[in-house]
Structure 1
């Protein structure tokens, strides 16, 4: 019989958990709170903890130009393409590495680890020259290519663990019942991979949505900015930093991420439950 934790230990563990949650959520609260405050209130040495009497002026500033909408469209296009392409290639690569034995298999896995150790800044010049030669600078396709190249190694490595964790005997049992190998994979293995696909998709979405440095190198025109690049326009040498605009813009940028996560969270739970029943 398992021993139950003592009451002081439980209280201490719960207290640590509450403190950790508050510490992680406070920056988000402060961002949203500041988005409703005027510039003098944000810069005041006395913090304003609640935005009573606040206004929507910062949000009006964000929507006063069409640049936010155009940047939103570019970010959505690049992020969506990155997720689809990265998951497709990572899925095929993960299945090949986990289910088949071929020459160079381990070398491929080691190469994935080595690639993740290379600093992204060390590749900027070569990536820029390649895209410039292919005339893909300031294009959604060009930025998507470099994003996929950055996301793919980690995505393959993550999906490889999910595929390897599904027993091959499940497919063999399905083939005994009359399924072909392809049918067994798509009917048995693929539904069980739903949590892995969702988890890697969330990672790719967040990385592509919030990425700044690669977008700064590839998207050099002002009318081809992604949302993180557009957010930097609130900093001016003469006028200083418009912290209210930055906080309002950051809040709006975070909304699609939250919505996406809420959608896929339900699908993740559904996939785990379906996998448990079918197993």
Structure 2
């Protein structure tokens, strides 16, 4: 009887947890579902006083109009170049630094950890003017190379913090055993530690990619040539001078811009889950 009495509160607690999870998923999914619905609605349904979730007459006209009005393919190519470049460079720079942060306990590790914490507290507005002046002196304003450099610097703190956690999860005994066998520090890093860090490296790169892909403020300030603008900036061109939005094409373009992030998040989930399971098996 006591077991039955104890099982009641436990089941009620699980029910509350599942209910909260479902409500949270609905809250997060609502904007995306409404965006998809709007993207496929004809103009007369968008102005209806009684909107519906499912379009009565689905159409692809909004997508055709979006591509006709704005250079979405060129903007997507610019965003892809900036995001991939920033993710690759950030991971290459952050991996050895994260290793030092995780394995060393000296002043350098403490200073790096402090920099990671402090850098996340600065809003974009405080750094954009000095950043613009630095890039102007380097002749990198209005260039994708300058934008990639900004994205790398901005994503490094999070990449360091994330990779350092993965490095700490790798047993130091494995590195010590390789060192006893005669392997040098670089050989240990690339032959022993790096393969075990593969899930963390992939997850960090994908997070850096998503951050750069969705970034708007830096791209708006630093890129002035229309042919070099990224996708988030081009999406604002669907807004009129007085704030009136061309809702159908805007929703269609925003839906297409969201798809890469959804795919990347799916890949992140698989990689992170795989890394956690691998770590559980090793332990």
Q: Shared fold (TM-score greater than 0.5)?
A: yes
Say which of 57, 64, 77 aligns to 1:60. 64
1:218 maps to 222
1:143 maps to 147
Aligned 1:117-132 pairs, distance under 5 A: 117-132=121-136
1:180-203 superposed Cα distances (whole Å, 9 cap, x missing partner): 443333333223222322332232
Q: Distance in 2 between matches of 1:270 and 1:101?
A: 29
1:41 maps to 45
**Contact 1:231/1:250 (<8 A) preserved:** yes
Q: Distance in 2 between matches of 1:146 and 1:211?
A: 11
Q: Which runs of 5+ in 2 are unaligned?
A: none
**Contact 1:191/1:275 (<8 A) preserved:** no
2:99 maps to 95
2:263 maps to 259
**Contact 1:192/1:274 (<8 A) preserved:** no
Q: Distance in 1 between matches of 2:93 and 2:177?
A: 27
Aligned 1:196-275 pairs, distance under 5 A: 196-237=200-241, 240-275=244-279
SS in 2 for 1:241: coil
Q: Distance in 2 between matches of 1:102 and 1:239?
A: 54
1:27-58 superposed Cα distances (whole Å, 9 cap, x missing partner): 11110010011234223331211013121111
**Contact 2:41/2:58 (<8 A) preserved:** yes
Greater shift in the superposed pair: 181-190 or 244-253: 181-190
Give the C-alpha shift of residue 235 in structure 1: 0.6
Give the C-alpha shift of residue 213 in structure 1: 0.7
Give the C-alpha shift of residue 99 in structure 1: 1.9
Question: Aligned pair in 2 of structure 1 residues 17, 212: CA closer, same or farther (>3 Å)?
Answer: same
1:6 paired to 2:23: no
Give the C-alpha shift of residue 253 in structure 1: 0.5
Q: Distance in 2 between matches of 1:263 and 1:104?
A: 34
Q: Which runs of 5+ in 1 are unaligned?
A: none
Q: Distance in 2 between matches of 1:11 and 1:224?
A: 51
1:109-157 superposed Cα distances (whole Å, 9 cap, x missing partner): 2122112211111111111122222221221101011111111112112
Say which of 166, 174, 188 aligns to 2:192. 188
**Contact 2:82/2:144 (<8 A) preserved:** yes
1:80-123 superposed Cα distances (whole Å, 9 cap, x missing partner): 00101111111121112222354443223212211221111111
**Contact 1:74/1:224 (<8 A) preserved:** yes
SS in 1 for 2:120: helix
TM-score by length of 2: 0.88
Question: Aligned pair in 2 of structure 1 residues 23, 239: CA closer, same or farther (>3 Å)?
Answer: closer
Greater shift in the superposed pair: 54-63 or 107-116: 107-116
Aligned length: 278
**Contact 2:210/2:264 (<8 A) preserved:** no
Say which of 80, 87, 93 aligns to 1:83. 87
Q: Distance in 2 between matches of 1:122 and 1:7?
A: 50
